Structure 1
Amino acid sequence: MGNLTGSTGVRKSGARWSGPGIGGRIGGVRAAPYACAVPAPVTETRTGLVRRARKIDRVLGETYPDAKTELDFDDPFQLLVVTVLSAQTTDKRVNAVRPTLFAAYPDPKAMAAADRATLEGIVGPLGFFRAKTESLLKLSAALVTDHGGQVPARLEDLVKLPGVGRKTANVVLGNAFGIPGITVDTHFGRLARRFGWTEETDPVKVEHAVGALFEKRDWTLLSHHLIWHGRRVCHSQKPACGACTVAKWCPSYGEGPTDPEVAAKLVKTEGRA
């Protein structure tokens, strides 16, 4: 069968699909409905790119209807702190120390006055405990001194806080304040490039390039969709292509195993949490 070009502008091969039928499930994740469509790089119009990107996001939204931040929190201060602590560790470990941490230091004023050794003992299981303790002490002090003990709801204010970059700021804005933001972590950046949405590697450039493809109101959920998919299916070293629900629209299809049974074994029912 000859090659076909769909309305998305992505060429599709005629390879036959021998896996589960449309709507089937593999390892708890809905099987790739069109894994027979193996995209190949072609010239894609801007309109085609936008449509394809939004289609991928819609399907990922159907795949992960419960997608949200996997860090536990009760208020903006807690989310800010646990996001800072999540660097170089898992969400599960951060969630495990959260109750003890905030029972001792429920607000910025209390944490700013914390005994360093005691605070180090609480965050110790997370690794890099000295650096993280220093960040929490400085961060809390800045909130007390510059913001009256409240977490600011503006990106420009958040990124001025010690230990807070754009990624952390956007997590807080999107999930604590409902202000749309794109969270470019390693998963988001990797998938944005695999999907052909951008070739940028700098997180800020990725944020702007991808943000231009979507309505602003969709940015926060878009971030969750890509992060969840990256943690569960589209892995860095061996993506589970044969179990991917967006295979039809992915120009990187085939980087990982396409056989559905092989791919199913790679799927994680949970992410790094």
Structure 2
Amino acid sequence: MDDPTRREIFERWRRANPHPTTELRYSTPFELLVAVILSAQATDRGVNRATEGLFAVANTPQALLDLGLEGLKSHIRSIGLYNAKAENILRTCRILVERHGGQVPREREALEALPGVGRKTANVLLNTAFGEPTIAVDTHIFRVANRTGIAPGRTPLAVEKRLMEVVPMEFRRDAHHWMILHGRYVCTARAPRCGECLIADLCEYDEKRNGSSKGAGKTIGSG
């Protein structure tokens, strides 16, 4: 895929959704951190249901430590792998209180040192909480980047590095939001909705369905 085609793709996504953001509900960087840890192998909708009650009673590192392991588990039992996630969240809370004054750090190295936080989660925090032009590559973005030809790569890290090379800076902060929404609602894994795709005429997917090569239709959804 050439650079003008990539630019047109991101121009279309921006026109359709000028201010995309995560579908996780949060009001502070710490709430976002907890939500993203919980979101692994879980839906954003399911995480939002759990955190609505949790954050009403405890939404700071110290408050979660005071709530305790069983108290935390009682709020997140509906989330997959909740036992391990609860332990990681409380270990993270302890580090935040003891090393960072109860605040979520803005440095990648410090974020990735937190239990339950890898490169993808760090990128989400840096981008969504702190406004950095990072790109977090999840399964949706990995699929969209490879299937469309925007940034092919064999691993999430390879895709991330390629995206950081080819996505124009003006789109970089919002790129992963547009791509995750596109992958979640249009360019789905098993039955991509090519006939309703905003970028079908620009996409390099060689199995386009429903005669979609003429493009435009529904957008990627709201942010």
TM-score (norm 1): 0.74
Could you report, residue by residue, the CA deviation over 1:168-188 in whole angstroms, capped at 9, with x for unpaired residues?
A: 111111111111110101111
Given that residues 180 and 217 in structure 1 are in contact (C-alpha distance below 8 angstroms), is that contact kept between their aligned partners in structure 2? no
Match of 1:138 in 2: 91
Match of 1:195 in 2: 148
Given that residues 61 and 94 in structure 2 are in contact (C-alpha distance below 8 angstroms), is that contact kept between their aligned partners in structure 1? yes
Structure 1 letter corresponding to 2:127: G
Which of residues 98, 104, 114 in structure 2 aligns to 1:151? 104
What's the secondary structure of 1:246's corresponding residue? coil
What's the secondary structure of 2:77's corresponding residue? helix
Residue 207 (structure 2) pairs with residue 254 (structure 1): yes
Question: CA 1:227 to 1:80, structure 2 compared with 1: closer, same or farther past 3 Å?
Answer: same
TM-score (norm 2): 0.90
Given that residues 51 and 75 in structure 2 are in contact (C-alpha distance below 8 angstroms), is that contact kept between their aligned partners in structure 1? no
Match of 1:88 in 2: 41
Given that residues 193 and 200 in structure 1 are in contact (C-alpha distance below 8 angstroms), is that contact kept between their aligned partners in structure 2? yes
CA RMSD of aligned residues (A): 2.4
Could you report, residue by residue, the CA deviation over 1:247-271 in whole angstroms, capped at 9, with x for unpaired residues?
A: 12111153433369xxx8xx89869
Residue 106 of structure 1 and its aligned partner are, at CA, apart by: 2.1
Q: Distance in 1 between matches of 2:64 and 2:204?
A: 48
Given that residues 181 and 220 in structure 2 are in contact (C-alpha distance below 8 angstroms), is that contact kept between their aligned partners in structure 1? no
Structure 2 letter corresponding to 1:110: A
Question: CA 1:143 to 1:217, structure 2 compared with 1: closer, same or farther past 3 Å?
Answer: farther
Q: Distance in 2 between matches of 1:119 and 1:204?
A: 32
- What pairs up with 1:28-177 in 2 under 5 angstroms? 49-177=2-130
Higher relative contact order (CA 8 A, sep 6+): 1
Given that residues 97 and 103 in structure 2 are in contact (C-alpha distance below 8 angstroms), is that contact kept between their aligned partners in structure 1? yes
Which of residues 243, 250, 254 in structure 1 aligns to 2:196? 243
Structure 1 letter corresponding to 2:25: D
Q: Is the helix fraction higher in 1 or 2?
A: 2
Identity of aligned residues (%): 37
Could you report, residue by residue, the CA deviation over 1:15-63 in whole angstroms, capped at 9, with x for unpaired residues?
A: xxxxxxxxxxxxxxxxxxxxxxxxxxxxx6xxxx222112111112223
Residue 231 of structure 1 and its aligned partner are, at CA, apart by: 1.0
Structure 2 letter corresponding to 1:59: R
Unaligned runs of 5+ in 2: none
Structure 1 letter corresponding to 2:119: R
Structure 1 letter corresponding to 2:96: L
Q: Distance in 1 between matches of 2:129 and 2:13?
A: 23
Given that residues 183 and 220 in structure 1 are in contact (C-alpha distance below 8 angstroms), is that contact kept between their aligned partners in structure 2? no
Match of 1:186 in 2: 139
Larger deviation: 81-90 or 244-253?
A: 244-253
What's the secondary structure of 1:249's corresponding residue? coil
Question: CA 1:217 to 1:147, structure 2 compared with 1: closer, same or farther past 3 Å?
Answer: farther
Residue 129 of structure 1 and its aligned partner are, at CA, apart by: 1.2
Q: Distance in 1 between matches of 2:38 and 2:154?
A: 24
Given that residues 241 and 253 in structure 1 are in contact (C-alpha distance below 8 angstroms), is that contact kept between their aligned partners in structure 2? no
Unaligned runs of 5+ in 1: 1-43
What's the secondary structure of 1:175's corresponding residue? helix
